[in-house]
Structure formats: C-alpha cells, structure tokens
Structure 1
Amino acid sequence: MRILIIEDNPDIVANLYGFLEPKGYVLDSAANGYGGLGLAAQNDYDAVVLDVMLPGLNGLELCQKLRGELGKSTPVLMLTARDTLEDKVAGFDSGADDYLVKPFSLVELEVRLRALVRRARGAQTASPMLTVGELTFDTANFEARRAGRPLALTRTGFTILRLLMKEAPNVVTREALEQELWGEDRPDSDALRTHIHALRQALDKPHPFAMLRTIPGIGYKLVSEADE
C-alpha cells in the first residue's frame, strides 16, 4: 500500500515511518502543502495522510485542490488538533474522507487507513449506473450528477450515496450506513452526521427540493419527487 504523508511535524512523520514501513507500506512525505500537492499530482497513492495546519498551503485548501484541480478521488485521512464539530464539517466539506484528532494512536491510524482503502477498492469493483429520479451515479468513474449538475463528493460521500441509491426509496438505517463505512471500527457519533451534512450540501442545496430525507431515530432515504 502506497501512502502520501503531508505533515510538517518531523516527530509525527518519523513515528509514521517507524510504525508503517516495517509493515510493508511504501511512504512518501512532504513537509508543506505545495510540496504535498506536487507529489499528489505526480503519483498515484492508495491514501493520503494530511495535516490541516501546514505552511504555504493549508490542508483544507490542499484537499480542495486535490479534488477540484487535480480531480483525484484518493482517500484522505485528515489530521488536526481541533476537534469541534465545525472543524470536522470544514474538513469533510473540503473533500476529506476521515478525520483523526491529535494526539492519535498509530494503531487507530492504520485501522482507519485500511478501512478507507478497502472501501475505495470495493467501490471500484462495482460499475453499474444508478439512477433515482434526476440523480445519476456512474460508479465506475465516480461521477454523480443531479439534473445534469456534477456533485463534488468525497469517497465516503460516494459510498453513502451509492448505498442510499441502491436502496431507494427504502430507508437505510444509521447502523447500516455505519457498518458499510467503518465495519466494526466505528468512529465517534458525529462522524456519520458530518458526512450526511456534506452530502446534503452537495446534493440538495442548489436545487428546489431535498432528495435526501432524514427519518428521525431511524436513518435516511432518497426520494425522487418533492412530495414523497
């Protein structure tokens, strides 16, 4: 597994190398945002470990460029010392797939990396075109559109959308979504909520009615018409 580490703290980088390389990971690293963006543009990685507070180009800006300018859907695990819900939403909105607060366990970081890569590889094996009303999702190319307008989503956002579209118009429980996303390695209770928020912003905000509906106490579903 090839991982790009973009982190300006040399102690953290050394710890990651010392922990991951003996396990067979191939690592590249950059100590600033522009250097990390350059490596991401030149190479293909299975995942990116990205610090938020970076010199030159911060992690949020880098992640936006990674998704937008480079068109990369590589899973991104974001590292930060900030743990408020607003900070997590900002990270996910920028294109991150998962979020780990410093100080963190190296074991937990590896577990999350493996989960991100496993989901990404699993998504690549399925290639049908999914359609719900004016919403389409080409799962082979990770291209989702509503009324012809492309949706900018993270890998996790695409995973949630795929499951909701496959089950539509039925309700998908929170437990089913969490199992699909994280298996038994579930993060804190805010994680799914922040991913749903980011998906809702991309899917519904520019349009006249909301396709993504919350079923209180149960889960979520997609509808194709405004009155459903």
Structure 2
Amino acid sequence: MEKIDHILVVDDDRGLREVVTTYLERSGMLVSSAANGREMHHSLDRHVPDLILLDLILPGEDGLTLYRRLRESRYRSVPVLMLTGRSDVTDRIIGLEMGADDYMAKPFQARELLARIRAVLRRTRALPPASPSLEDACILGFGEWRLDTSTRQLLESDDTVVTLSGAEYRLLRVFLDHAQRVLTRDQLLNLTQGRDADSFDRSIDLLVSRLRQKLNDTARASRYIKTLRNEGYVLSATVTVCHETFVE
C-alpha cells in the first residue's frame, strides 16, 4: 500500500489552516493542525508527521523559537517548511541560516505550496545519485571527520557528536558524494532543494557558511569546503568508506 504523507500545519490563522488542510487532503495527504506551540507539541506526541508547515509569527513562542526547539528534540529529522507574512527578507535569511528545508512568503498559491511540500519530501527521502562506492556506505570519512549515513551523525576525531540540521546533512552528503568536483550554486541548490536559484538567492552561501562552522572550517583557510570565485564550491578532502557502526 502506498504511504500517505502526514503534514502538520502550525499557524494561528484558522482560515488559512482550514484552506490548506482542505487542499492537501484533496491531494491525498493526511493533515493535522495546530494554532500554537503547545498544540504543535501535543500533536507531535500523538503522531510524528512527515513534514511540518510552520508559521513564523505565532502567539507565545514564535516560529523560529519552535524550530530551534524541534532541532534540539527527537523530532530533529522532521523536515520543516517555514511560512511568514512579513515582506522583510531578514526572517527568510534567519530561517535558512538555521537550516529550514524551505521557505514560502504569504500570500501563496496552494498549488505552489503543494509542489514545495512534495519537493521537500522527495529530497528528504532520496539523496542525489552518488558514486557507486558510496551508495551503500555506512561511514564516510574525510579529514578528521566521520559521517554515519544511517544515523546522520557527524563525529569529530574524539567521537564528539556534532548535530546537523536536515539541510546541513543533505548539503554535506552532496559534497561527499561529489568530492573533489566543482559544484556551482545552481547545482547545489538543485541537488539539495530541488529548485533553481534566482539572481538574489544566497541561501546556498548561507548554508555552506553554517556547514563550515560545524566543521571548524573557515573560508579564508579552508581545509574542506573551498570557494572557487565565479565557479562555486568544492570539497577538497579525500573521502574514505567503511562499514562500521557507531555505538553510543
């Protein structure tokens, strides 16, 4: 039986929740809804969704605070598509820097929302084609780091676990799967988010910056992710493959 995608809509606008719920249900999805953070957590306790549609402007704890708490909880791997009615790009930048899987500004068309949701779900469930030697790998090593592809844990040489958001994990996997190959911003955006960049889209640069911070990598003296002016980025490290598993 084909799996039915479960979407959790978190928005204090009752009318919007009802419209989105009706449209997504007619498109074959299961939908739960919440008006605030408290209701969101009650819903999560009952059933873990496949994706959370999260408004940034909420009563009580705002969407960014709720998103930060999600990424620190057992729901950290659930993809999040952020919504906001603000025209200021600051919220978008903050959301993308925090590792949100996608972002839409209100008002939006229901068809585009559905397309974005499906794109995020596809990206979450299927990483881009990798080198044959990496497809079945459990552990990918590069420099002083190891990435467990089954648990999505990034470990330093002393086995310290570094938490990655869903977007950061996908970006790192793309770099590891295409090590020592130059990837343009358009290619990275398409591989990680399933869409092309517009002339003002700097979300990949923000995400690369966040990943570099996690790897203790600096743009000026980068050991791993190097910037090639007017070309893009390249993971310069050699990737090794092993099949051990981490024991916590």
Q: Which range, TM-score by smaller chain?
A: 0.7 to 0.9
Query: Equivalences for 1:35-184 in 2 at 5 Å?
Result: 35-123=39-127, 128=137, 129-147=139-157, 148-183=159-194
Give, in whole Å, the separation in 2 of the partners of 1:108 and 1:146: 40
Query: Equivalences for 1:192-211 in 2 at 5 Å?
Result: 192-204=204-216, 210=222, 211=224
Give, in whole Å, the separation in 1 of the partners of 2:116 and 2:126: 15
TM-score by length of 1: 0.86
Deviation at 1:153, TM superposition (A): 2.5
User: Could you tell me which residue of structure 1 aligns to residue 229 of structure 2?
Assistant: 216
Give, in whole Å, the separation in 2 of the partners of 1:47 and 1:86: 23
Deviation at 1:118, TM superposition (A): 0.6
Q: For this pair of structures, how many residues does the alignment match?
A: 223
Task: Choose 211-220 or 36-45, whichever is displaced more.
Answer: 36-45
Residue 190 (1) aligns with residue 202 (2): yes
Deviation at 1:49, TM superposition (A): 0.1
Cα RMSD of the aligned pairs, angstroms, is 2.6
The 8 Å contact of residues 8 and 33 in structure 2, kept in 1 or not, is answered as yes
Q: Which runs of 5+ in 2 are unaligned?
A: 130-134, 239-248
Q: Which runs of 5+ in 1 are unaligned?
A: none
Report the residue type matching 1:157 in the other structure.
E
SS at the partner of 2:215?
helix
Give, in whole Å, the separation in 2 of the partners of 1:212 and 1:83: 32
**Structure with greater helix share of residues:** 1
Deviations 1:175-226 (A, max 9, x none): 321221243x4354233233223323333369xx63322212111122349x
